[in-house]
Structure 1
């Protein structure tokens, strides 16, 4: 799995790390039960603090995409829903990015989502 980050981006590094792993789950290059790189190893190869990697991994855990197991590291969730959830998160991120590129405010984006939920 290849992790790439852009230190000049406004997107926090932990979020970029999470996005790389999420894309790997979506495209199938990492499957259920597979282990993500150890946080220390990944931090060293990216030249970032280990806590930055752990923040990205914690985001993925909160999304239900990985399990963090003491002594075993980060493991891709063993559920069929994990891949579908990763795809959904990617689509939501794209939607928000497109909306912000169009100049919509946060409130306008939330209003659009609220309207879609009521439809």
Structure 2
């Protein structure tokens, strides 16, 4: 499982990690029943504190996406709802757009333009 963080993203690192894990599961890179690396290994790979990685994993456990088992590690319990994944991505988009000075209605217009262009290609 290859995860990356955006150090320019103003969201807390644990939120970015949780979103990246959700996305990996939603894309099928990690499936229900698969084990995740220990928080220590995940933190080392991402260059963050172990507690930061653990906080992200606990958040996903609380959502019912992951399961912690003593002696067996962390495993994927279920795929997140597609709407959850999409909401996370839209939230990140709106936050980034705000940093560039775009209003929500302007972002919606950009999405409409892209959707219309995509429909025109079909």
TM-score, length-normalised on structure 1? 0.72
CA change 1:21–1:97 in 2 (3 A) is: closer
* Cα distance in structure 1, aligned partners of 2:53 and 2:64: 17
When Rg is computed on C-alpha atoms for both structures, the one with the higher figure is: 2
SS in structure 2 at match of 1:71: coil
**CA positional deviation for 1:8:** 2.8
- Give the structure 1 partner of residue 16 of structure 2: 16
> Which runs of 5 or more residues in structure 1 are unaligned?
105-119
TM-score by length of 2: 0.71
**Other structure's SS at 1:9 match:** coil
State how many pairs are aligned.
99
Matches within 5 A, 1:1-119: 1-77=1-77, 82-83=78-79, 85=81, 87-99=82-94, 101=97, 103-104=103-104
Q: Structure 2 unaligned runs (5+)?
A: 105-122
